[in-house]
Amino acid sequence: MAAYMITSTLRRVLLVAKHASFQSRCCVASSRVQYSTVYDSNEKTFDKILIANRGEIACRVMKTCKKMGIKTVAVHSDVDASAVHVKMADEAVCVGPAPTNKSYLNMDAIMDAIRKTGSQAVRLTTQATRVILCSGGGGKGMRIAWNDDETREGFRLSSQEAASSFGDDRLLIEKFVDNPRHIEIQVLADKHGNALWLNERECSIQRRNQKVVEEAPSTFLDPETRRAMGEQAVQLAKAVQYSSAGTVEFLVDSNKNFYFLEMNTRLQVEHPITECITGLDLVQQMIRVAKGFPLLHKQEDIPINGWAIESRVYAEDPYKSFGLPSIGRLSQYQEPIHLPKVRVDSGIQEGSDISIYYDPMISKLVTYGATRAEALQRMEAALDNYVIRGVTHNIPLLREIITHPRFISGDITTNFLPEEYPEGFKGHQLTSEGRRELVATAAALYVSAQLRSQRFLGNLRVSTTPQEQRQWELCVELEKGSHTVAVSRSGSTFTVEVDGVTVEVSGEWNLASALLPVTINRTPRVLQCLSRDAGGDITLQYLGTQFKVRVLSQLVSTLSAHMPEKVPEDTSSILRSPMPGSVVAVSVKPGDVVAEGQEICVIEAMKMQNSLIAAKAAKVKSVHCKAGETVGEGDLLVQLE
């Protein structure tokens, strides 16, 4: 059966100030990742650049501008007045209220800011480049339609998303290519007829047509195919007299046949992995080209040095459609940049708000290694050491992807996620050994907390206690299972017997630290204790996934068996919002009879529209929302009889 992809239009251009044509890009990050770029202070480019972006990309561009001695101007909405990119800039201009179409996509306000600040060039937001001529990308405004009904629904939702995100509701209908790889070529061209291809990026791991994990190079391409794709990408750039950094995207089938998809005339989110393997600062290259300088390199100068992987860290709930947006304030935030060969491109800090108005990206987490295995190992460690509190995030999904046997083997397509998780993502599935590790660690943590509560300034609180307790009999509840546990302690090492199997756990047991580095049966692990209370309830992040554990003494465990259980809510009779957002449309009223699967309302969050349907055939009892209202995650929308 043929299918078609409905997409918002994909022509993209660059807004320029009258003094120069400029499109920027981002690169350098952690000093632990080395680059071969030389910043020549004698090479005069621009005095001042206005960066019409927010978030991580604005911060990234500013870093290179500072290295080049260029002053920067930030623009911001009123809710972004204290954002990181505003603090980094030399000047800042407010361009309107929170909604993007009234601020970051308000071209009159942007042009006025350019004139007021005397900026010689402007680096546009991705969405802004799409608004001008006229739009699309980021997985927004795209639907797959297999029949007439899906075509009608896809047209409606895609056009609404496109209008909301890009100010243009025009659509293209394209033939849908099933089960391909998504591989793109980075190009760099100047105004003197020179153009290079900077190798490829593998971008096949996607959800809702948006990339999640990228790597460079691709495990799939051989040198001949890489060269053919690169040469054709360069030919395209030269044919349209393109001058800047850009990306030519392809779909590649199992026989290494490749098909042109689109050209993005901008800086891609995933550009850091290209910088890692080539040593180039692409922001610097774009600024030089915009000023009219020729490229510094020849094609034979472009290497593939090592391997780089990027994980897009989002404020999303990965258990809902592989990632529905989450909002909140980052109450605690620590990037894993203390680890070697780790780069984090972000535009937030502890205390920053993730709002419904903008993309929920927290950061781009990049690891680099001499080999793919080394880069993957570093990514695993980086994800375990990444501390994010206050919002739901997608680290559980990212860690499962990069440790999945199929991903490790390189056998991936754009259908990886739905194929491997057909019932949706459920988090890390514990093996028997993993369960014992988690139970033993929880028990050791519980005992450590108990011992800590008995001391102050290194002394026992009760001086008459003759001797510290060294053995404990506990019951640990995990995933509806109960485990009898015997714990003994020697210094900072706990020997834990879990269901007859001995597990040795050692560590510093610093309960004030966000990270909990331990050694379990001589294997180093980094867990995170997300919460714990006096009742023995502990939430641990283990292998990326959050697990709720209850640790009780044997007596308390026996007594708790007599406590009544809470009756779960009948979710088939109510419809709650799966995410924070705004109500676009309500399709029912009290008294209406709905069929199973019928649309009840549409919720928009971060410019993505989600159709919510009835779980069963029933009569509508009450409606608790209306179009235009803002709702929170879990808010009651509609109740059925």
Q: Which residues are catalytic?
A: 266
In this structure, what token pair is assigned to residue 282? 């692409």
> Among candidates 434, 425, 432, 447, which has minimal Cα distance to 538?
447
d(Cα 634, Cα 203) in Å, to the nearest integer? 33
In this structure, what token pair is assigned to residue 408? 């490790």
Cα–Cα–Cα angle for 138, 142, 146, nearest 5°? 150
CB 416 within 8 A of CB 400: no
Place of tokens 């593939």: 304
Place of tokens 């993209």: 12
d(Cα 270, Cα 263) in Å, to the nearest integer? 15
Instruction: State phi, psi for 299 to the nearest 5 degrees.
Output: -60, -40
d(Cα 346, Cα 361) in Å, to the nearest integer? 9
> 630: Cβ–Cβ under 8 A, 6 or more apart, which residues?
356, 580, 581, 582, 583
Laid out side by side, the sheet with 48-52 consists of 91-96, 71-77, 48-52, 121-124
How many residues can be counted in the chain?
Answer: 641
> Among candidates 394, 455, 405, which has minimal Cα distance to 212?
394
Number of other residues whose CB lies within 10 A of the CB of residue 54: 25
Angle between helices 55-67 and 282-291 (to 10 degrees): 70
**Amino acid code (one letter) for 551:** V
> 384: Cβ–Cβ under 8 A, 6 or more apart, which residues?
399, 525, 526, 527, 528, 543, 544
In this structure, what token pair is assigned to residue 382? 């980086």
Scanning 141-222, the segments in alpha helix (DSSP H) are: 148-166
In this structure, what token pair is assigned to residue 577? 């919002």
CB 50 within 8 A of CB 20: no
